[in-house]
Structure 1
Amino acid sequence: MAVMTVDRRRAATVLLGLLIGMLGVLFSAGPASAHAALVSSDPNNGNIVPDAPNKVTLTFSESVQLISGKIQVLAPDGSRADQGDPTVDGATVTIPLRSGGGRGTYLVTYRVISADTHPVAGTITYSVGAASATPTADGAEDVKVDPLVRALIPIGKYLGYAGLVLLVGPVLVLALLWPQRLSRRDPGRLIWTGIGLVAGSTVLALWLQAPYTLGTSLFDVRVGDLRDVLGSTFGAVMLVRLAVVVAAGFLLRPLLLGSGGESKLDLALLGVLGVAALATWPLTGHPTASPVAGVSVVLDALHLAAMSVWLGGLVMLFAFLLPRANARELSAILPIWSRWAFTAVGALVFAGVVQALIEVSTLNGLFNSTYGRLILTKVALAAIVIGVAAFSRKLVKERAAEESPRGLRRVVLAELGITAVVLGVTAALVQIAPPRTADAARTTTADTTVTRTLTDKTMSLQVDLYPAAVGNNSMHLYAYTPDNKPLPVVEWKATAALPAKGIEAIDIPLLRITDFHAIGDIALPQAGDWTFKFTARTSDIDQSTFTMTAEIR
């Protein structure tokens, strides 16, 4: 009885370490970040177009899924300008519009799900003919997540990781290294705990996904919302994970009972199920949105497998084998486990480094982003653990046959404590946008079109210049009356000059597209504040001349 009490205390110590790691999740996890960015739209955000379009398109940095009822276009009078359901093709969302839209400013609001299952929300505006007051839509500008939902998501992910640790490594040890004379009752309980944690975290993830994507509270979830989640890619992957866990539970019973009823086929099927289960984690995370998604999914699954084998094996070693096995058994088990651990650590480091390079992409992203700093923290902790593991390997070679290898138990406990914190950092990482996403947003979302409206007593002239950079530029000119009606122009003239660099006025060839719309192209050779002059003649005796300055980068 005394031995069993001590063993239970050791098991409790291991679980306490995992709980400490969970606290790391709570302290390190901030607000969930959207992991896709709106990179362009048609019409462009803030632009004024001459005629009402028949659709609006939104293009994101990665593929997205629609959320029912979460995309709308509001007309200047606040009425709905969209009609029918929006459609999505990869990263492009198309919103059909009613015909004959009136003049003024339109508001487009959207909330979609990115490829890595995070919600993305925002607004853009465009104007037809001329700008007006922007219609309002409550709560459409930000990705709002209920605080309780936001806190529970990383906790659920951590519990799933902990379940993998208590399932994968212990099953391998029990199947291949466990001495026949020892009881399997307590290791079996540990494995059932792992199964319960994985299954419970999966059910929790399915429930949380509804309020997370919709921006509602934890208990404001309807049956239809859950049905939508189950019908999504995320829901399908979670259901596969649940099915795999249930099937694994049936196949594990003979192994856990120690009846000898398990067959090689059962063990092979368990291996296949294990691979399938591990693949479900990267299929609902950052790897699916990676520039090399296939490589990232494989690397992430390898990373999880190595972590689960190593840390799960340490749990078995600390809680059961070191206190229960005799010197002869330990002398046979420890060298084999040492080789397993060495291989797992190698795979862990390789997969982690390559995946970090893909996600971080630049040194600046590594040091100047939350994601990069967490990666550095994880690397530092991993380096400490690897050092401890190397010392452990040395002890295995020198003292494997000792009756009471207390030094080795202390080293293993240190490994467990640090890796529990590493698990917490990992759970926090999946909630933070990687630098590659932020870089994509910065480099592609900036609308470089210069749009100006120039007025006098008889005319309002809208000028669009794109991309306002050195090299070839396109120009659009629109003429309106002071009350924003199209104004026919008989003749257009335009010039561009850069006096600060001694560049005299350059004529800009213009082509009339409609009575009030002209286009032109000009190559601007240098950066600086260019002066543009426009003349629009509306009759034989009436004309207006405008001048504006625009920065060319």
Structure 2
Amino acid sequence: MAMTAAVRRRPVAAADRRWAARWGTVAGLLVTLVALLLAPATPASAHAVLASTSPTASAVVPNAPAEVVLTFSEGVRKVPDKIRVIAPDGSRADRGEPTFNGTVVTIPVDSSGARGTYLVSYRVISADSHPVSGAFTYSVGAPSTPPTDSGTDNRANPVVENAVKVVKYAGYLGLLLLVGPALVLAALWPRRLSRRGPARLAWSGLGLLVFATLAELWLQVPYTAGGSLFDVTGSGLGDVLGSAYGTAHLVRLGLLAASAFLLRPLLAGPIGRTDGIILAVLGGAALFTWPLAGHPAASPAPAVSVVVDAVHLGSMAVWLGGLVMLAAFLLRRADERELDAILPIWSRWATLAVAALLLAGTVQALIEVATPAALVDTTYGRLLLAKIGMFALVIGVAAYSRALVRRRTAAGRPGSMRRAVVAELAITAVVLGVTANLVQTTPARTAVANVAGESAGYFSSTLTSPLYSLQVELDPAARGNNSIHLYAYTPDNRPQPVKEWKATAALPSAGIEPIQIPLLGLTDNHAYGEISLPASGEWQLRFTLRTSDIDQATVTATVPIK
């Protein structure tokens, strides 16, 4: 009778544990739901690039503007006190807080400012959570020695930048240490072997993953603001948690909490089909939090990028996590009969995971790199090439492992198989390091666009003669329609009245004779014109200014047109 009661209590206790695990999962999902409900509704956009400014960078304007306008390629968010306008004497010229309206940032400035050169420095957050910073100058009346901004430093803190890469690496490592044991214990683990070692590995992976997620949230505050490791304020942390980046990490923590309740019975013994499906769904959902907090969510094709990045990450976790289980446990503890059954199945899984990695990686590269030239001209492209090269080495070692399995020699020679697996893991450890750098590097498509925007799209130069100096601005300095602004100054940098303006443009290398540029005098020392340049090349611009009834001088400039 006592035995019967004990038998009855065991199924009841097991059922109670299953229900407790499921209720714990529900609690974790509720945390996730709350994070999603509190998330801001922000549209996906690309890594931001400063597209244009008003006044134009390096321009000389006759009067001090009432505002400075920055226009980015995509919407940006504010970093407190990181947008400043410095007057020629080093004082602050900005007045009040800048306003953010999608891609446009408007900075109110003192419209009665002194003559000379002004410095505009900025640091904002792009849609992919990475900071964008820079500076440019403009001049009122005439150029002067550019001021310096001693009150702020928009450069990234190198300690914080490296710490972000380290914790991202730790997150990837925690993911594969969690996925590998969970997958192998659910489908391939021999019943006679103890689960204690794999269970410890899985809990270590989960702990490392939670730590990395919390550390990323903490580091995001000084990373975006340009501060040191411990420059974290309540308001700064609140801004991070309220962003799309923070929401993705909070959702990840909620999904990990929900998964932990089902992971515990799995690590102790086999679980039911329903619980296994729920655990797989939770794990799959958690994978999407990585791309939603990085470059993929802000790519030109966000839906595609997010899916392929999640597939890429999941395939990596399955493949490398399984390799860790093989090297650490199965090849050491399983007997030859068990290995004969396990290794062919694992080999098929690894092949599918590698195929998914290659496919997803190819799609990612096409989106993020965009052009073949960007592979060698950008840091992102060169890191990607390094990753591809090392991945090719891993594929070679994996092919050797698969050949051992096909020849049915792996079970009888576990030492050879173990050495091949260790070699795979050693190379992929470096690949993970490259990946941690990649996700912190400006995508190649954006870097190329930024370089193009700096090297082409605007021409500014000061030409001198004994009578005057002439500030020339040509926009966009490309084939097709261009606008030209001319500002004349005396040798002591005062506005020079001009009685007559003449300008021509020629391209001798293409046989294009001088073309007259119609000019309209806007003020005594400022003229404006429009010209269509039909071909690329080194255009010769010639300007003749008459400053009195008898005094005139001619200056020339060579402008590269792309």
- TM-score bin, normalised by smaller chain: 0.7 to 0.9
Of 443, 449, 458, 1:448 maps to 458
Distance of 1:184 and 1:109 partners within structure 2: 57
CA drift of 1:253 comes to 1.5
Counterparts in 2 of 1:374 and 1:535: CA distance versus 1, 3 Å: closer
Question: Residues of 1 paired with 2:479 and 2:266: CA distance?
Answer: 71
Q: d(CA) in 1 for partners of 2:477 and 2:430?
A: 49
**Paired residue type of 2:67:** K
Aligned to 1:493: 501
CA-to-partner distance for each residue in 1:518-549, whole Å, 9 max, x for gaps? 32223456744635233456xxx747523111
Shift of 1:370: 4.1
How far apart are residue 145 of structure 1 and its match? 1.0
Contact 1:535/1:543 (CA < 8 Å) preserved in 2? Answer: no
Structure 1 residues 351 and 543: CA distance shift in structure 2, 3 A: farther
Task: Identify the residue that residue 133 of structure 1 maps to in structure 2.
Answer: 145
Following the alignment from structure 1 to structure 2, what is the Cα–Cα distance between the partners of residues 349 and 284?
22
Structure-1 residue corresponding to 2:425: 416
Distance 1:248 1:346 in 2: 27
Secondary structure at the aligned position of 2:542 is classed as strand
* Aligned match for 1:166, one of 152, 159, 177: 177
Count of residue pairs brought into register by the alignment: 511
Q: 1:50 aligned to 59, 62, 86, which one?
A: 62
Q: What are the superposed Cα offsets for residues 223-249 of structure 1, whole Å, 9 maximum, x if unpaired?
A: 333233223332222222222212211
Pick one of 231, 243, 247 that aligns with 1:232.
Answer: 243
Residue matched to 1:550 = 557
Q: Is 1:212–2:223 an aligned residue pair?
A: yes
Secondary structure in structure 2 of the residue aligned to 1:399: coil
Alignment of 1:206-355 (within 5 A): 206-258=217-269, 262-355=271-364
Aligned ranges for residues 367-516 of structure 1 at < 5 Å?
367-399=376-408, 402=411, 405-446=414-455, 448-452=458-462, 462-468=471-477, 471-478=480-487, 492-496=500-504, 498=506, 506-514=515-523
What corresponds to 1:117 in structure 2? 129
Structure 1 412/476 Cα, relative in aligned 2: closer, same or farther at 3 Å?
Answer: closer
Q: Contact 1:492–1:510 at 8 Å: present in 2 too?
A: no
> Match for residue 30 of structure 1?
none
How many angstroms apart in 2 are the aligned matches of 1:374 and 1:500? 42
Does 1 or 2 have the higher relative contact order (CA < 8 Å, sep 6+)?
1
Displacement, 1:140?
5.3
Structure 1 position 142, deviation (Å):
5.6
Opposite residue 334 of structure 2, the aligned amino acid is: A
Deviation, 1:427, is 1.8
Aligned to 1:68: 80
- Tell whether 2:118 aligns with 1:106: yes
Where does residue 177 of structure 1 map in the other structure? 188
Q: Report the more deviating stretch, 195-204 or 285-294.
A: 285-294
SS in 2 for 1:116: coil
How far apart, CA to CA, are the structure 1 residues paired with 2:242 and 2:507?
62
Q: Percent of pairs identical after alignment?
A: 57
C-alpha distance 145-322 of structure 1, shift in aligned 2 (>3 A): same
Distance 1:41 1:174, change over 3 A: same
Structure 1 window deviating more from structure 2 (191-200 vs 505-514): it is 505-514
In 1, Cα distance between equivalents of 2:297 and 2:130: 12
| Deviation sequence 1:498-535 (CA, Å, 0-9, x none) | 59678766543233445654322234567446352334
1:57 match: secondary structure = strand
Q: Equivalent of 2:91, from 71, 79, 98?
A: 79
SS class of match (2:407):
helix
Tell me the secondary structure at the aligned position of residue 195 of structure 1. helix
**Corresponding residue number in structure 1 for 2:27:** none
Report the aligned-residue RMSD: 3.1
SS at match of 1:69: coil
**Structure 1 CA distance for aligned equivalents of residues 367 and 447 of structure 2:** 13
The answer on whether the counterparts of 2:85 and 2:121 sit within 8 Å (CA) in structure 1 is: yes
Q: Report what 2:28 is aligned to.
A: none
Give 2:374's aligned residue: 365
TM-score by length of 2: 0.81
* SS of match in other structure, 1:107: strand
Distance change >3 Å, CA 124–CA 402, structure 1 → 2: closer
Q: Once the 2 structures are TM-superposed, how far is the Cα of residue 455 of structure 1 from its aligned partner? A: 6.7
Equivalent of 2:200 in 189, 201, 205: 189
d(CA) in 2 for partners of 1:516, 1:104 = 16
Report how far residue 143 of structure 1 moved.
Answer: 1.8
**What whole-Å deviation, never above 9, does each CA across 1:104-140 have from its counterpart, x for those lacking one?**
2221111122333333322111112222332320275
Partner of 2:16 in structure 1? none
Q: What are the superposed Cα offsets for residues 369-404 of structure 1, whole Å, 9 maximum, x if unpaired?
A: 443333333223222222222232232233379467
* Conserved? CA contact 1:61–1:440, under 8 Å: no
Report the CA distance between 1:331 and its aligned residue: 3.3
How far apart are the structure 2 equivalents of 1:523 and 1:110? Answer: 34
Correspondence for 2:106 among 90, 94, 97: 94
Against the structure 1 CA distance between its residues 267 and 63, is the aligned structure 2 distance closer, same or farther, given a 3 Å change threshold?
A: farther
Residue 159 of structure 1: CA displacement? 0.9
* Counterpart AA for 2:314: A
Alpha-carbon distance change, 187 to 105 in structure 1, aligned in 2, over 3 angstroms: same
Q: Do the aligned partners of 1:496 and 1:507 also contact (CA within 8 Å) in 2?
A: yes
Counterpart CA distance in 2 for 1:263 and 1:84 is 62
